[in-house]
Amino acid sequence: MKDPDVIRIFDTTLRDGEQSPGATMTTEEKIQIAEQLARLNVDIIEAGFPAASPGDLMAVKEIARRTRDVAIAGLARANASDIDAAWEAIREADRPVLHVFIATSEIHLKHKLKLDKEEALQQVKRMVAYARNLSPTVEFSAEDATRSEWDYLCRVCEAAIKAGATTLNIPDTVGYTLPHEYEGLFRYLRERVPGIDEVVMSAHCHNDLGMGTANTLAAINAGARQVEVTVNGLGERAGNTAMEEVVMALCTRPEAFGNVSTRINTREFLPTSQLVSQLTGIPVQPNKAVVGANAFAHEAGIHQDGMLKNRLTYEIMTPQSVGWGDTKLVLGKHSGRHGLDARLRQLGHKLSAEELKQAYRRFVAMADQKKHVSDSDLLYIVESGMETPAAI
């Protein structure tokens, strides 16, 4: 059922994410991630592309059997053999979802599929109906929707709805669109496609121009109530929209999106991120939003001083809300006396104003020579410059 106040999270880490070069996983590794995604409380797990290989079919089948209380989707091209393979893989899921796609842009129709628009339209009608005869939940995706002719896309969406699609996905397959364009496309479809209010509209964005999250949020503002995302932004080329970024944007700025929410347990973001990174062998960049090692780290003296006085000065969410421990005050050449004093107190040294002045002078000299000043460095600075460590 549609809930206008809740955004469904459709996680495609195990399908689109696994298509990242080098990210291939074993069946057991996929099951580990699926179980963690269930703990994260995603609404739908797209477990794979069953027609791609016998191994992928078996992996999706095992996930559908063993991962409970979550919808499991299988991807299929708009042909009967793909749909049969996907249905075979997901049929034992608690809530199976057949995800059927075909390209709708002129460049894809002409050069990849060798179909004209009418042939593709008829294929949509036949194959969505075929899928709906198997599964009560069918998602239809218009691949490369953002480079498709808008009025033709309206005709395709209308045909998919009439054939039984319950979700319409409008993908920015190649990360080409801009936020205002993507929002405009969703509004255009909502205004012109008969029956569109009876289905869920979904956004699926790639990050080729670095706008996956911005585009996805723009679609939510235009009425999308499902977003297709991956953990850590994993995915082909520059990746997919990162789940953690979209969800925390909605949590942090609810008033900007009509106070919609998700069912996600955000405290599971960090363990989920770390598990996916470990099993795929793809590291998370340190400055990655929400789950990067530096997401809640502060080195600049002005920032550290503000954080010590009130966390709200430089943090818009708490590290604990997404699974981290406490904020990290990183000591380096940009740090100030307040940050140094706070860390020294944690290490058991309460210095007088003059002692802190001398310690800070030595600290700055060392920080100019080193990228990171460690706790052992700080202890050396204090203890070698004083006859005895100060009492707490």
Given a cut of 90, is residue 300 above it in pLDDT?
no
If residue 27 lies in a helix (H) or strand (E), which one and from where to where?
helix 27-40
Q: How far apart are CA 232 and CA 273, in angstroms?
A: 6
Q: Which of 62, 68, 77 is nearest to 29 (CA)?
A: 62
Q: pLDDT band at 391, cuts 50/70/90? A: very low
Domain 8-280 top-level CATH class: alpha beta
Candidates 173, 190, 314, 158; CA nearest to 241 is: 173
Q: What is the mean pLDDT of residues 164-184?
A: 98
Q: What is the pLDDT of residue 365?
A: 80
Is pLDDT at 303 greater than 60 in this prediction? no
In the chain, residues under CATH classification 3.20.20.70 are 8-280
Percent of the chain at pLDDT > 70 equals 90
Q: Which of 99-108, 119-128, 237-246, 344-353 has the lowest mean pLDDT?
A: 344-353
Q: Residue 383 above 80 pLDDT?
A: no
* Section 30-49 average pLDDT: 97
Quote the CA–CA distance of 106 and 110 in Å, as a whole number: 6
pLDDT attached to residue 141: 98
